Amino acid sequence: MAATDVARQVGEGCRTVPLAGHVGFDSLPDQLVNKSVSQGFCFNILCVGETGLGKSTLMDTLFNTKFEGEPATHTQPGVQLRSNTYDLQESNVGLKLTIVSTVGFGDQINKEDSYKPIVEFIDAQFEAYLQEELKIRRVLHTYHDSRIHVCLYFIAPTGHSLKSLDLVTMKKLDSKVNIIPIIAKADAISKSELTKFKIKITSELVSNGVQIYQFPTDDESVAEINGTMNAHLPFAVIGSTEELKIGNKMMRARQYPWGTVQVENEAHCDFVKLREMLIRVNMEDLREQTHTRHYELYRRCKLEEMGFKDTDPDSKPFSLQETYEAKRNEFLGELQKKEEEMRQMFVQRVKEKEAELKEAEKELHEKFDRLKKLHQDEKKKLEDKKKSLDDEVNAFKQRKTAAELLQSQGSQAGGSQTLKRDKEKKNFF
């Protein structure tokens, strides 16, 4: 309906207001784009591979940035994951990029459990996001999503076959993250060997049931290029941060005595293909696959472990409230049962302790009686000995008195005889 017709219907005297621009809901995509650009994006890359395969160099080459980081040694006692987050800006689009690298992967003699720290790290990011979702007050719009969106698995350029460590690790990770296998340092083998190596890797992945990430072909706008790139997996890449002058242009390349390898020359390596597929074409699909496939699988398994389910045994819808009440009642029942078991165990232990104390008390009384009797016997012996000693002392005193008496009498008799002899002498003279 034209604006003049509207003015004619409401009256000739009404003022008409011209439209400032186009009106319609077809501007909704523009609104979404503007909102997304203002909020920014996040992308998390996990680099898995042995030490020395050029993981850090490839990341620097991929984003044309010198990221911070220290070179890892081959002396790590175990596998450690090192995470670094960077804020990148391109035009008016901001990207919070997180690069997680496996330090010490493949350096141990026993590599049996090398994949476990990687699996635990990925699950920890899923768990953190799940806990944020389960909060009463969620702030998902400002929450830093640390879930891994893509795993670049670096394969050593042996030219023969995949190592057992590679197969085991990728098999453990394929249900948790989008895996893109890449052949690192592809300039170490010839083109013919590289072609055979790619075929060998693909056949081994299929025969061992390893599910790698396939570029989506359901979108008509990217179906052709993604279908073509799926046939080039795994990508053979070369990284370099050095720029060399080739012709009249400065290009990133690697200089060797036998020639120069250009990183962005598709005849030399698949670096450009990897960059196109990872950043320009399928970055959003990787983010979506992480949320709708891998995270949903983790979330479902975690909730099922907690006892939550969608339907009851009769295949009727089962609400979250009913599940919570059922689990709460079950938990309270188990808690009451454990409390009763602990109470009975406590009573039993108290009885056992009382019996032990009574037995100990009985032993103490018996020991006391024995000691008391022994004390009495010793006391009686001492009294008898004291009595005998007293008798001996009394007898000794009596003998001493008699001896003193006899001695005194003897001394008196001797004195009288002396006087008599003196008197007789006197009368004689």
In terms of domains, do 117 and 90 share one?
Answer: yes
Asked whether residue 229 falls in the same domain as residue 349, the answer is no
Statement to judge: residues 239 and 198 lie in one domain: yes
Residues 338, 301, single domain; the answer is: no
Q: Is residue 271 a part of any domain in this protein?
A: yes
Of 286, 257, 57, 250, nearest to 149 (Cα)?
A: 286
Tokens of 164: 């057992």
Helix (H, G, I), strand (E, B) or coil at 43: strand
Say whether both 254 and 340 belong to one domain.
no
251 plus 378 within the same structural domain: no
**Are both 153 and 242 inside the same structural domain?**
yes
User: Does 427 reside within a domain?
Assistant: no
Structural domain count of the chain: 2
Residue 301 in domain: yes
324 and 301 co-located in one domain: no
Residues 127 and 253 grouped into a single domain: yes
Structural domain contains residue 333 = yes
| Inside any domain, residue 235 | yes
pLDDT by position in tens, the chain (length 429):
444 454 445 555 666 767 666 667 777 888 888 888 888 899 999 999 998 898 999 999 999 888 877 777 777 788 999 999 999 998 889 999 999 999 989 888 888 889 999 999 999 999 999 999 888 888 888 888 999 999 999 999 988 889 999 999 999 999 999 999 999 999 999 889 999 999 999 999 999 999 999 999 988 888 999 999 999 999 999 998 888 888 888 888 998 888 889 999 888 999 999 999 999 999 999 999 999 999 999 999 988 887 777 666 666 656 667 777 777 888 889 999 999 999 999 999 999 999 999 999 999 999 999 999 999 999 999 999 999 999 999 999 998 888 888 888 877 777 667 666 766 666 655
**Maximum CA pair distance of the chain?**
204
Q: How far apart are CA 166 and CA 156, in angstroms?
A: 10
For residue 252, the enclosing domain spans: 36-306
The pTM for the full model equals 0.72
* Contact assessment for residue 261 and residue 268, using Cβ atoms and an 8 Å cutoff: yes
Same-domain status, 267 and 360 = no
What's the rounded Cα separation, in Å, for the pair 411 and 422? 17
Same domain, 363 and 215: no
One domain, residues 105 and 236: yes
Residue 80: give its domain's CATH number. Answer: 3.40.50.300
